[in-house]
Amino acid sequence: MTNLDINDTIFISELEILKEKFTDLYSCIDLEKIPVSIQLIKEIESEFADFESADTGGRGEVYRIAQKNITVRSEGIKNIFSLLSPNEKIENLSSDMKLLDALGGDGLLTKVISNIIDSKNLPQILTTDISADMINAAKKHNIPALRLAAQYLAIKDYCLDGVILAYGTHHIPVPQRLEACKEAYRVLKKGGKFILHDFESCSPVANWFQEVVHKYSLTGHDFSHFDYNEIKSYLYKSGFESFKIEYMYDPFIFTGNSIADVKFQFTDYLHNMYGLYKLDLQFGEQEVHDVIYQLANKYFVYDYQQLGLSQSFGKKTVKINQIGQRWQLEMPRVAIVGIGIK
Ligand SMILES: C[S@@+](CC[C@H](N)C(=O)[O-])C[C@H]1O[C@@H](n2cnc3c(N)ncnc32)[C@H](O)[C@@H]1O
């Protein structure tokens, strides 16, 4: 630790918080790996700047505005935690489990699961992320968080019950993906589970990213998504003898008081979540919402059979329904998930 310079004081303060408030998670940190971890982040951080603040060319602030709504993605996030749970039953999660959300952003997954399950069963979750801004935001919500790259975890071997790489795995460059999976394997206890979640190449979500987000977001979005065999090879090569790959429903769901309300929440969310701010240069405020609505309706169409999926996972298109006095808008997405057991 003596080699650290002044810029590393924030990192040290993150460690101090863990040491004081989250002692079980702190006990998993491998202090000897920290200097290499910090050095690696310095070397590669410019490649991963999309989620930093706007003044450094990122879209982190608007992304986090969207994440204030912690119910929109709760179905998919609940599915991920179910897959991680003993016997895949979410009620089997327990407070003695230690999990890592390695692309954790501002801690959304921790916030969502805390909102879904009883606090006495809540696992201890360490949020790590390569973005300093994301980790700062997580800390503000009292979420245990540390700035680490998924490719090099300053975490001890055989320490964790579960590792999640989700909602952004495509941001890891292809040549570095196996390394991230090997790190997940290394830090898991025997019997621990790894979730490798993304959206399949050529799927509606991948097309949305490639044709809409890449064109209209201020950062662009030129990333390669995953396919079945790629996930299989990472799981196998990183050491998992037992693994499976599944498709998982992962919709966006909005509830509100009227059709106009859910439509506005929806387009506002997509605008911020994907930073589609180049549209604002071409269109007025209302038009931007209309254009986003039309684009979402065009891209998020799931003809499950035609997509080669064995079952219908949920809605086929963006749908608005009345439920009692309330309205609900649901946008279908299907994720591909590799589940490895060490
Ligand atoms: C789409 S965001 C998802 C954040 C959060 N999990 C959520 O669902 O809102 C992807 C996150 O992955 C982070 N990220 C990208 N590459 C990473 C890497 N190699 N190591 C750690 N974090 C990384 C980004 O900084 C960003 O915060």
For the CA of 51, the closest atom of ligand 1 is 25
- How far is 134 from 140, CA to CA, in rounded Å? 10
CA of 187 to the centre of ligand 1 (A): 19
CA of 12 to the centre of ligand 1 (A): 21
The reported pLDDT for the residue numbered 5 is 57
Q: Which residue has the tokens 């809540």?
A: 122
- How far is 111 from 17, CA to CA, in rounded Å? 18
- Region 17-26 average pLDDT: 96
The dihedral built from the CA positions of residue 143, 88, 199 and 228, taken in this order, carries a sign that is positive
Query: For a substitution probing ligand 1, which of 111, 129, 164 has the most ligand atoms within 8 Å of its CB?
Result: 129
Give buried/exposed letters for 193-229 (b at 16+ CB in 10 A, else e). bbbbbbbbbebbbbbbbbebbeebbbbebebebbeee
The reported pLDDT for the residue numbered 7 is 53
- How far is 33 from 1, CA to CA, in rounded Å? 10
- Region 247-255 average pLDDT: 97
- Is 58 close to ligand 1, i.e. is its CB under 6 Å away? no
- Is 105 close to ligand 1, i.e. is its CB under 6 Å away? yes
CB 269 within 8 A of CB 70: no
| For residue 31, pLDDT beyond 80 | yes
For the CA of 148, the closest atom of ligand 1 is 21
Query: For a substitution probing ligand 1, which of 51, 183, 196, 224 has the most ligand atoms within 8 Å of its CB?
Result: 51
CA of 308 to the centre of ligand 1 (A): 29
Structural domains in the chain plus CATH codes? 9-48+73-201+224-250 (3.40.50.150)
The string of pLDDT tens digits covering residues 177-231 is 999 999 999 999 999 999 999 999 999 999 999 999 999 998 898 899 999 999 9
DSSP 247: E
Write the residue with the smallest CA distance to atom 14 of ligand 1: 103
- 16: burial class by Cβ within 10 Å (0-12, 13-18, 19+)? exposed
Angle between helices 285-299 and 259-273 (to 10 degrees): 90
- Is 132 close to ligand 1, i.e. is its CB under 6 Å away? no
C-alpha angle 262-200-314 in degrees, rounded to nearest 5: 40
| For residue 1, pLDDT beyond 70 | no
Mean pLDDT for the chain overall: 94
- Region 231-255 average pLDDT: 97
- How far is 100 from 161, CA to CA, in rounded Å? 8
More confident residue, 84 or 3: 84
The reported pLDDT for the residue numbered 52 is 84
The string of pLDDT tens digits covering residues 115-161 is 999 999 999 999 999 999 999 999 999 999 999 999 999 999 999 99
The reported pLDDT for the residue numbered 4 is 53
- How far is 33 from 153, CA to CA, in rounded Å? 8
Write the residue with the smallest CA distance to atom 12 of ligand 1: 103
Number of alpha helices (DSSP H) and beta strands (DSSP E) in the chain: 14, 10
The reported pLDDT for the residue numbered 6 is 47
